[in-house]
Each structure stands twice: as C-alpha cells, then as structure tokens.
C-alpha cells in the first residue's frame, strides 16, 4: 500500500491532546496511513492556552506515524487580551494584526523553516486550523502543495486582513461543512480555489445496546442526552435551567437529562439530571442508542461531532438556533429541530417525546445525511482525490 | 461598468526611469481615459537608496491621483552582505525575509493604505514581484489583485517569500511569452489566468541616416548597439570579437560606457546619444546587435524593428531569441562563426518583417484589450 504519495500534516498540537481540530487531524492521519507515507509537523505543546513546551523536541511515533515536534519560541502572551481587543477593533493596523497572531501563539519559526525548506519532499501538505501561527504563515510557503483544513467559524478574527492570503494561496481547501464553505467564500471571495466538503468520518460500532446502558445505569423513561464538555460556553448553564424549568412546570413531564463529558462547572444536583462523567466510547454509543433526543445547546458549534454521532445513531437532534451551522445542517438533513428560547425548547421537547414516529423520521434523515458525507470511506476517498489532483498539477 | 483601479509600483513620476516604472506609467496613462485610476507608490526617486525625493501625500501626475507614501527605511548599508548570504550561501527563511526588508523600500504607509482602503478599489495592479510593496502588499488584497511581475530568471525568484505571490493574484500580466514560460515552470501556478501584455511603443523618431554617417564620418556597412556599454550586457564579448575578427564593417556603440573599449578604427563608442541620434543611428545601420544574455523585454529590439532594422541576438537569451523567432526579424548566434555569418549576411529584408510584426503584435488596441481582460478577471 502507501502508493498514493507522501504527506506532511501541520497541526498546532498533536497526540494525546484535547481539542476538536487536533482530534480531527489525528483521526484523519490514522485513516490515511494505509494510503500515504505521512509525517506530522507540530509543536511540543499540549496546552492550547499557554503552549508551553511539555513534550520533547524531535521525532516520536504516534499511532505508528512519525511526529516531528518543533519548539514553541513564544506561547500565549501575557497581554493577549489587550492584543486581541486591538486586533478586533475596526480601526486596527496591520501591526495590530501581526501582534495579535503572535500573542495568540504558538510562535514556531523552526516549524516554518522546516516547511519552507522541505516542501518538495512532499506531494501535499495538510494545514489544520487557519487561525494559528503555523498555518497562518505556513500556507504561503507551500502554495502549490497546501491543502487547508480551515475549521473556520463566524468569529471576529476571520475579518483580519492577514488571513486573506491563507484562504487564497492553497491548492485546495477541505471544508468541514457546506456552511463553512459558504461563510468563507462570502467573506473572502475565494471560490476559485478548488474545494470540497470533507469533514471527518463517524464510526458507529457494530455492538450497540441502549438497554445495556439503561440497565447499567438504572435509567428508565425518556432520555434527553447531552455529550460534550460541561462548560457555560457550550450553553450548559442554560440547558440545565431550561430542563429544570420544563420538568418543574407542573405538567408532570417525565424524563432524565443524561450528561456525558468532563464537568468544568457545577451541575445541579437533582435525580433527573445524571452526570456520568467522561464516557468510554462503548458507553457513549450505548447512550446514543438509549436516548430519545440528543440536545446541543451550544451557539458556537460548527462541525459538531456529537450531532454527527447522534444522527449516525438514528436519533433526532434538538439544537440551539444560535448555531447557524447546526441549524442549517438540521434543515438540510431533516435530522433536527432548533429552539431559540425556553418556550421553544419545552414545546419541541414535548413534541418529540410524544411522537415516536417523528423521532424515527428525524433520526433516519440524520443517519442518511451522515452516511452520505461523514463516514471514513467517503472522507478518505475525497482526500485521495484532492491529493491526486495536487500531484498532477505539480508534475 | 468598472470601479476604481489602483496601480501599485515602487516609484512613479516624470523623472523616474526604469523598465517596470516606465511600463507602469504608460499603463496608467492608457487606463486613465477609460477607468477611474489611482497610483500608490513611495516618495523615492532613486531605486538604490530609496531616499525621499517627492513629498509624501497625494499629487496629480498627468491628471491621475498619485498617493506617495513615505519610505521609512531605504536600502540598508549592509545590504550586500545579506544579499550574498541569501543568493549564494546556505541560509534560512528568516534570512530571506531580512533580505527583502533590507532591499527596501520599507513603506508601511502604502501597506496600510491597502489594508484600510484596498476594498474601495475593484482591481489593484501590482508592479514588479521583487520589492516590498508587491511581496508584502499583494497578499493583503489577493481577491482583487493583478500581478505584473517583470520576472527574470534569477535567484531571487526562487526565494520562499515569493512562492505565494504567484498563486495569490486573480490574473498575471507578462511582458513576453518567455517570462510566462519561466513563471509557469517555476511556480506551477496554471490556475491563475494570464495575458501576455507586451507593451505599447512610442511613435518612432524619424532618423536621418546620411546625416548620422556624415557627422561621425562612417562609410560602408554599419552595425549598432544601443544601451549601456557594460560587461553585464555582454558588450565585452562583442567588442573583443569585433577587434579580433575585423569584419568589413563599423560597430557603433551608443550608450553610457561602463567598461574599457579597445582602440580600433572600426569600433566607435559614442557615449550617451540623444533620441534624434538614436533614430539616426538606426536609420544608418545594416542591423542592430544585442549581445545581452539577460533581458526581460528587449525594448531596443522593438525600436529597431519600428525603424525597419533587423537584429542579431544571442541564441541562449530566451527572450530575445524568442522575439526573433516569432518576428522573423533577424538572426541568432551561438558561436563566433555564426555571429560572423550574420554580420556578413545581414540585409534589410528581415527588418521589414520585424517592422510588420511589431506593428501587429504591439498594436495599442491589442495591449488595451489584454489589459481589459486582466481587470475583468480581477473584478470577477
């Protein structure tokens, strides 16, 4: 195997680290390994905030793949918030933008030197996450081989002049969702750059049992499931208060809110909110199977792995309308409904829990949507095609 | 209907000389009747020091607003040292960026203009790939940029900071098909559409060949070289061949002399000449000889053809040899023997072919149409 060429993958962190883009990069590498010779260029950091040099400089193997770690010269600056404010000000200067990108970290000139001088050894270079220094300054060093995986959100930083080159220079862009593609193209006018909606694959295990989950944890009745970090920024505070208000409104609602994920805020102590901590993969899929509805209260989601998993499990998604991406994906897939406030949350929950046929219809729509785009065979094939195109153009 | 066009170039003004700068000025003045056009440039006149010469601010040159931004740092004193490092020695990416900075012109105001006001223009045309205003400025506005690189086959073209520059613009305007081939080969950027713009020539002067011969007392066959008389232009090889082979003809060198010339009664170095004398020399000549190995457009070839004079060029200069092959307006040589044969055989018939070709290929309407297409791509 490994006949499709040689790849370099550039990511700000890599290995046993938390983070959506980092997980994405590693999972993708694991699935591309049968087809390519791969090397990863990353930093010695494990913490996305401080970027301090936790790991040794040099090469090691992760999942059997050579990972070369470059030192972080400067992590997040002490005055980062001030730099951020200056860069988000409409009157910002180019110097404000440069200082912000450097203050954000990880400043890794050695990684850039590596990319600049080894570019011809690779058939393609995958750059993860447009926002950080390695990609923001690295793509322009390898425009004829760069495939950008931007993971862009509708956020103030996307307006910086400095990022325009990142979205115009690469050979190809692999977006996570059609919504991300539309956002980027509207912002940058870069339709001419070859692109594809690729994202990641979801792997539904064969052996899944909702009953095993219910019996194991002793949960009966309707289940509303939340999966993810338990933090206010994901909308968990509102979710807990909305759920409690709905349960306590005197209409005799039944149901349990099951929470899977690391708690980084207090969770109300009541019998109908069950926090089960960080779940093993098997438990997670059993939980999806047991759930009647999966809820996603975050307004900042772009590609939500949880939404994809819920749909893959054939479950309806109840998501916050503030997330434009999830709202649009729910509409396109027919796999979810969205709420703006407590009244809509309660009404939609009543509707879904009262109608098994509706839940099944939504779940089937979601599953078909995921199977079309977000499975590993589909994702791997799209990357193989993109990389083949890049090779041909540099021949 | 088109919006405003901005032309970015390192120097601009009536006193400014230089190939890309003259091209930029010609282009701006052809655009002005048809598009709202502005220029963004520095306040420098000298391309080596980049010393301030013009007032910073907006002036009007031939009816076109010209925004001149202050050069904050000219070419650094130790420029030659960093140049040597980057061009000849093992070095880092950081060294390459330092070289670009020290080359100058460092003009943050111009970059800030692009950052703040770039989106008010519907297209922005950048001149000369090598200097700061383009290599740092074009990436700020890639979605509306046209690049006119005026690229040569030189080490700088292969430095990492220039890689993205040739992939970012919406379209590229080349001066010759050879420049186009060089850039395509180097950057594999075939996704960016291009035009071979060429140039628009000024109306040729009317030369009096008899008066020229009389003034310098030259009889018989006459060959002319126009331009700087220097080793860099390959004139040393030509002169030593002429002195040794002594063809039955006179070699006239018209241009500033920057090298020693051997004493020889059939070699005449005139120094710089007026426009009138230039056209007189061409009118008197059997052919123009251009021995230069590096040339981006070879404007003197085009002028010779305007005057109906054939040309003799090196076969290993891709640009001039390519022009001769396309026009049929002269001869190429790879050896002293071939040069001798060309000098003995030169006649005006090939000059007439060159004249017809220049009239066709360098027609102003053709240039304007190609420029319109470049702007349309940038606005699309």
Q: Is B66 left (phi over 0), alpha (psi -120 to 50) or beta?
A: beta
Q: Is B337 left (phi over 0), alpha (psi -120 to 50) or beta?
A: alpha
Q: Shortest CA distance to B227 belongs to which of B262, B285, B277, B272?
A: B272
**Residue of A144, A168, A394 lying closest to B142 (CB–CB):** A168
Other Cβ atoms within 10 Å of B241 Cβ, number: 17
What's the CA gap between B177 and A264, in Å, rounded?
Answer: 63
| pLDDT-above-70 percentage for chain A | 99
Query: How far lies B258's CA from each of B26, B232, B234, B255, in Å?
Result: 29, 10, 12, 9
Name the closest residue on chain A to residue B144, using Cα atoms. A189
What's the CA gap between B156 and B100, in Å, rounded?
Answer: 10
Model ipTM value? 0.87
Residue B364: partners with Cβ closer than 8 Å, 6 or more residues away: B30, B200
Mutation target for B interface from A138, A169, A390: give the one with most B CBs within 10 A.
A169
- State the nearest Cα–Cα gap between A110 and chain B, in angstroms: 9
**A182 φ/ψ angles, rounded to the nearest 5 degrees:** -65, -40
Mean pLDDT of chain B: 94
Query: Tokens at residue B33, please?
Result: 């009747």
Contact check, Cβ <8 Å, B93/A189: no
Contact check, Cβ <8 Å, B163/A113: no
Q: Taking 70 as the threshold, does the pLDDT of residue A41 lie above it?
A: yes
Q: Taking 70 as the threshold, does the pLDDT of residue B33 lie above it?
A: yes
Q: Taking 60 as the threshold, does the pLDDT of residue A1 lie above it?
A: no
Contact check, Cβ <8 Å, B140/A394: no
Chain B CB contacts of A93 under 8 Å are 112, 115
Q: What is the average per-residue pLDDT within B155-167?
A: 97
Q: Taking 90 as the threshold, does the pLDDT of residue B47 lie above it?
A: no
Does residue A300 or residue A100 have the better pLDDT?
A100
Length of chain A (residues): 395
Q: What is the pLDDT of residues B221-230, one digit of tens each?
A: 999 999 989 9
| CA diameter of chain A | 70
Mutation target for A interface from B101, B120, B160: give the one with most A CBs within 10 A.
B160
Question: Would you state the pLDDT for residue A306?
Answer: 94
Yes or no: say if B297 and B201 are a contact pair by the CB < 8 Å rule: no
Name the closest residue on chain A to residue B379, using Cα atoms. A189
Yes or no: say if A98 and A162 are a contact pair by the CB < 8 Å rule: yes
Q: What is the average per-residue pLDDT within A61-71?
A: 97
**Residue of B93, B142, B191 lying closest to A116 (CB–CB):** B93
Query: Tokens at residue A13, please?
Result: 């962190």
Q: What is the average per-residue pLDDT within B58-79?
A: 94
Distance from the Cα of residue B373 to its chain's centroid: 22
Name the closest residue on chain A to residue B188, using Cα atoms. A394
H or E stretch at A183: helix A178-188
Query: Tokens at residue B252, please?
Result: 């006239």
Q: Look-up: residue for tokens 């011969």?
A: B213
Query: How far lies B147's CA from each of A163, B152, B197, in Å?
Result: 19, 14, 12
Q: Is B217 left (phi over 0), alpha (psi -120 to 50) or beta?
A: left
Q: Look-up: residue for tokens 């613009």?
A: B169
Q: Using CA atoms in the order B237, B242, B243, B247, what is the torsion angle rounded to 10 degrees?
A: 160
Yes or no: say if A69 and A42 are a contact pair by the CB < 8 Å rule: yes
Q: What is the pLDDT of residues A303-355, one digit of tens each?
A: 889 999 999 999 999 999 999 999 999 999 999 999 999 999 999 999 999 99
Does residue B298 or residue A92 have the better pLDDT?
A92
Question: Would you state the pLDDT for residue A7?
Answer: 98
Q: What is the average per-residue pLDDT within B145-171?
A: 96
Query: Tokens at residue A117, please?
Result: 């001088």
| Any B CB within 8 A of A80 CB | no
Yes or no: say if B142 and A165 are a contact pair by the CB < 8 Å rule: yes
Yes or no: say if A8 and A39 are a contact pair by the CB < 8 Å rule: yes
Q: Taking 60 as the threshold, does the pLDDT of residue A55 lie above it?
A: yes
Yes or no: say if B139 and B167 are a contact pair by the CB < 8 Å rule: no
Mutation target for A interface from B114, B164, B172, B186: give the one with most A CBs within 10 A.
B164
Q: Shortest CA distance to A98 belongs to which of A50, A170, A165, A160?
A: A160
Question: Would you state the pLDDT for residue B363?
Answer: 93
Question: Would you state the pLDDT for residue A2?
Answer: 61
| pLDDT-above-90 percentage for chain B | 88
What's the CA gap between B169 and B148, in Å, rounded?
Answer: 10
Q: Taking 80 as the threshold, does the pLDDT of residue B83 lie above it?
A: yes
**Residue of B143, B167, B187 lying closest to A189 (CB–CB):** B143
- State the nearest Cα–Cα gap between A377 and chain B, in angstroms: 29
Query: How far lies B140's CA from each of A113, A164, B118, B124, B192, in Å?
Result: 22, 7, 8, 11, 17
Chain A CB contacts of B167 under 8 Å are 143-144, 168-169
Q: Using CA atoms in the order B329, B334, B337, B343, what is the torsion angle rounded to 10 degrees?
A: 20
| pLDDT-above-70 percentage for chain B | 99
Q: Taking 80 as the threshold, does the pLDDT of residue B13 lie above it?
A: yes
Helix axes A305-312, A356-373, angle to 10 degrees: 120
| Any B CB within 8 A of A305 CB | no
H or E stretch at A311: helix A305-312
Contact check, Cβ <8 Å, A165/B170: no
**DSSP code of A182?**
H
Other Cβ atoms within 10 Å of B244 Cβ, number: 10
Q: Look-up: residue for tokens 């030369």?
A: B207
Distance from the Cα of residue B27 to its chain's centroid: 13
- Strand, helix or coil for residue B322: helix
Q: Looking at chain A from residue 86 to 145, which residues have their Cβ under 8 Å from any Cβ of chain B?
A: 93-95, 109, 112-113, 116-117, 139-144
**B69 φ/ψ angles, rounded to the nearest 5 degrees:** -110, 145
pLDDT interval class at A281 (50, 70, 90): confident
Q: Taking 80 as the threshold, does the pLDDT of residue A302 lie above it?
A: no
Q: Taking 70 as the threshold, does the pLDDT of residue B1 lie above it?
A: no
Q: Taking 80 as the threshold, does the pLDDT of residue B296 lie above it?
A: no
pLDDT interval class at B77 (50, 70, 90): confident
Mean pLDDT of chain A: 95
- State the nearest Cα–Cα gap between B133 and chain A, in angstroms: 14
Chain A CB contacts of B164 under 8 Å are 139-141, 143, 165, 169
Helix axes A305-312, A324-333, angle to 10 degrees: 20
pLDDT interval class at B250 (50, 70, 90): very high
Query: How far lies A299's CA from each of A232, A315, A338, B13, in Å?
Result: 11, 20, 11, 54
């Amino acid at each position: 195997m490994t006949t499709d060429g040689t790849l370099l993958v550039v990511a700000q962190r890599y290995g046993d680290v938390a983070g959506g883009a980092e997980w994405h990069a590693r999972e993708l590498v694991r699935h591309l390994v049968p087809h390519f010779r791969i090397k990863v260029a990353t930093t010695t950091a494990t913490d996305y905030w401080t970027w301090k040099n936790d790991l040794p400089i040099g090469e090691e193997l992760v999942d059997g793949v050579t990972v070369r770690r470059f030192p972080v010269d400067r992590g997040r600056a002490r005055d980062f918030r001030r730099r951020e404010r200056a860069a988000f000000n409409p009157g910002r200067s180019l110097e404000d933008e440069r200082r912000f990108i450097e203050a954000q970290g990880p400043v890794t000139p050695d990684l850039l030197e590596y990319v600049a001088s080894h570019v011809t050894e690779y058939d393609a270079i995958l750059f993860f996450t447009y926002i950080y220094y390695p990609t923001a300054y690295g793509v322009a060093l390898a425009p004829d081989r760069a495939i950008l995986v931007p993971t862009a959100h509708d956020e103030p930083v996307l307006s910086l002049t400095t990022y325009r080159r990142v979205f115009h220079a690469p050979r190809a862009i692999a977006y996570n969702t059609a919504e991300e593609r539309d956002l980027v193209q509207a912002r940058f006018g870069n339709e001419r750059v070859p692109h594809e909606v690729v994202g990641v694959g979801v792997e539904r295990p064969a052996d899944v049992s909702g009953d095993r989950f219910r019996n194991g944890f002793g949960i009966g009745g309707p289940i509303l499931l939340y999966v993810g970090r338990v933090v206010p920024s994901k909308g968990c505070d509102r979710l807990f208060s909305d759920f409690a208000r709905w349960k306590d409104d005197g209409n005799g609602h039944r149901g349990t809110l099951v929470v899977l994920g690391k708690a980084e805020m207090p969770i109300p102590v009541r019998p109908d909110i069950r926090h089960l901590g960080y779940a093993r993969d098997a438990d997670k899929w059993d939980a999806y199977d047991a759930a009647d509805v999966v809820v996603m209260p975050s307004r900042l989601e772009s590609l939500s792995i949880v939404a994809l998993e819920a749909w893959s499990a054939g479950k309806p998604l109840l998501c916050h309308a503030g997330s434009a991406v999830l709202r649009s994906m729910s509409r396109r897939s027919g796999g979810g409904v969205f709420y703006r406030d407590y009244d809509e949350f309660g009404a939609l929950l009543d509707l879904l829990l009262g109608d098994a046929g509706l839940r099944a219809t939504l779940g089937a729509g979601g599953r078909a949507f995921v199977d079309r785009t977000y499975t590993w065979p589909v994702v791997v094939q799209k990357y193989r095609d993109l990389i083949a195109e890049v090779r041909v153009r540099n021949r | 209907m088109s919006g405003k066009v901005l032309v970015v170039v390192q120097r601009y003004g009536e006193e400014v000389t230089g190939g890309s700068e003259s091209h930029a000025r010609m282009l701006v003045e052809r655009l002005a009747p048809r598009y709202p056009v502005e220029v963004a440039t520095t306040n420098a006149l000298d391309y080596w020091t980049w010393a301030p010469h013009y007032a910073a601010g907006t002036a009007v040159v031939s009816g076109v607003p010209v925004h001149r931004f202050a050069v904050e740092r000219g070419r650094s004193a130790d420029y030659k040292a960093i140049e040597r490092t980057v061009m000849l020695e093992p070095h880092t990416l950081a060294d390459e960026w330092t070289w670009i900075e020290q080359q100058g012109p460092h003009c943050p105001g111009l970059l800030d203009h692009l950052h703040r006001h770039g989106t008010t223009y519907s297209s922005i045309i950048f001149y000369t790939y090598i200097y700061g205003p383009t290599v740092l400025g074009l990436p700020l506005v890639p979605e509306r940029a046209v690049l006119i690189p005026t690229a040569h086959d030189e080490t700088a073209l292969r430095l990492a900071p220039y890689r993205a520059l040739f992939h970012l613009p919406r379209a590229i305007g080349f001066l010759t098909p050879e420049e186009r081939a060089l850039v395509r080969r180097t950057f594999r950027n075939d996704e960016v559409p291009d035009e071979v713009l060429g140039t628009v020539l000024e109306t040729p002067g009317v030369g009096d060949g008899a008066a020229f011969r009389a003034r310098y007392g030259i009889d018989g066959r006459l060959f002319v070289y126009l331009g700087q008389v220097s080793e860099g232009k390959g004139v040393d090889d030509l002169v030593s061949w002429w002195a040794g082979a002594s063809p039955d003809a006179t070699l006239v060198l018209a241009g500033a002399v920057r090298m020693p010339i051997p004493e020889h009664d059939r070699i005449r170095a005139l120094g710089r000449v007026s426009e009138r004398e230039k056209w007189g020399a061409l009118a008197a000549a059997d052919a123009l000889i251009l021995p230069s190995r590096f040339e981006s457009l070879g404007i003197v070839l085009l002028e010779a053809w305007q005057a109906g004079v054939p040309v003799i060029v090196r076969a290993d200069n891709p640009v001039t040899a390519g022009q001769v092959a396309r026009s049929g307006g002269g001869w190429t040589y790879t050896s002293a023997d071939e040069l001798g044969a060309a000098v003995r055989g030169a006649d005006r018939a090939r000059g007439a072919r060159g004249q017809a070709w220049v009239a066709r290929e360098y027609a102003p309407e053709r240039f304007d149409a190609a420029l319109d297409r470049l702007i349309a791509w940038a606005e699309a």
